[in-house]
Amino acid sequence: MVKFYQDLSISHKQIVWAWVFLAVPLIFYVTIRFYPTANAIILSFQSWNLLGPRTWAGMENYIKLWNDPVFWKVFRNTFVYLLIGTPVSLVISFTIAFHLDKLRFMHGLIRALYFLPFMTSAVAMAWVWRWFYQPVPIGLFNNFLASFGISQIAFLNSTTNALPSILAPAVWAGLGFQIIIFMAGLRAIPQTYYEAARIDGVSGWTILTEITLPLLKPTIVFLVVLSSIGFLRIFDQVYNMTLLDPGGPLNSTKPLVLMIYDTAFNAFDMGYAAAQTVVLFTVLLIVSLVQLRILRDR
């Protein structure tokens, strides 16, 4: 082997060393990413309770999934998180970033304050918001409403209010990251475009729609895909804010990730949980590819 290496030309030795260095991330992804994924797909066709041996079940887990009304309720909840959370968070974060970019007084401090929730532990944040939503005399929001003579709101104990109540802190927690990314995209736009538009007397709305937003398209695509994946995988807020009744009343807030957790570690049905995981992986892949295709440059 040593003689073979010594007989190689310099260009061939460079190729060998390139593959040696590439082997490290390749081995990492095969063992940490690809193998668990393949194992989960195989497990989805098996029955296993973590203690006994795996037994082949064929399509039984997927048939059970198709006929499970709880799964379809959870599947709907997951897409509600996605379809409401992603556009709301992007609109709010862009609006803040757009105005914050023009601010010069205490700019760094305000930007840090917006980014602080993103750095906060999701568990701690969820428990603080859970305290906010408690009834009188504990909850901050209901105490505020009571001071104006307004009746209490069952934020986390209502099938109507529970999901928006959990979605609010989830959106709030991710704003800091999105604001920073939007501001980086705004700073990357050459000022010559704006100067030329002002000389021509173009209105502010036209500048926003014809210059700023089109040039921010790569940033928007990145944040849309990343935000969508985050909302499809939402777990921390739901689990911690509905700890006594995971998934909220009548599973009104339960997302697919929480259902996978319950199936695997409470019901110990690993095959059924793996089938749910495969469905989630497929949804994530399809949503990401569709968004990239729709938002790609023409």
Separation of alpha carbons 278 and 285, rounded Å: 10
pLDDT at 282: 92
pLDDT at 3: 65
pLDDT at 66: 94
pLDDT of 210-256, one tens digit each?
888 888 988 998 899 899 999 999 999 999 998 777 888 889 999 99
Given a cut of 60, whether residue 271 has pLDDT beyond it is yes
pLDDT at 68: 93
> Mean pLDDT, to the nearest integer, of 14-36?
82
**Confidence band, pLDDT 50/70/90 cuts, at residue 22:** confident
pLDDT at 52: 85
As separate numbers, helices (DSSP H) first and strands (DSSP E) second, the chain gives 16, 2
Separation of alpha carbons 186 and 180, rounded Å: 10
Q: Can you say whether residue 50 is alpha, beta or left, with left for phi > 0 and alpha for psi between -120 and 50 degrees?
A: left
Q: What token pair was written down for 86?
A: 């992603």
pLDDT of 90-107, one tens digit each?
999 999 999 888 877 777
pLDDT at 6: 66
**More confident call, 72 vs 24:** 72
Residues in the chain: 298
Among 108-112, 151-155, 225-229, 288-292, the minimum mean pLDDT is found in: 108-112
pLDDT at 73: 94
Among 11-25, 31-45, 237-251, 258-272, the minimum mean pLDDT is found in: 11-25
> Mean pLDDT, to the nearest integer, of 248-266?
91
Instruction: Look up tokens 């990239």; give the residue.
Output: 292
213-218's contacts with Cβ under 8 Å and 24+ in sequence apart are 215/185, 215/189, 216/182, 216/185, 216/186, 216/189, 217/295, 217/297, 218/185
Which distant-in-sequence residues (6+ apart) come within 8 Å of 163 by Cβ? 77, 80, 81, 248, 252, 253
The b-or-e profile of 202-241 (16+ CB within 10 A means b, else e) is eeeeeeeeebbeeebeebbbebbbebbebbbebebbbbbb
Among 11-15, 20-24, 172-176, 203-207, the minimum mean pLDDT is found in: 11-15
pLDDT of 178-200, one tens digit each?
999 999 898 888 888 888 888 88
Burial class for 151, CB neighbours closer than 10 Å (0-12, 13-18, 19+): exposed
pLDDT of 152-171, one tens digit each?
888 888 889 999 999 999 99
> Mean pLDDT, to the nearest integer, of 109-113?
79
Given a cut of 90, whether residue 44 has pLDDT beyond it is yes
pLDDT at 70: 93
Q: DSSP string spanning 91-107?
A: HHHHHHHHHHTT--TTH
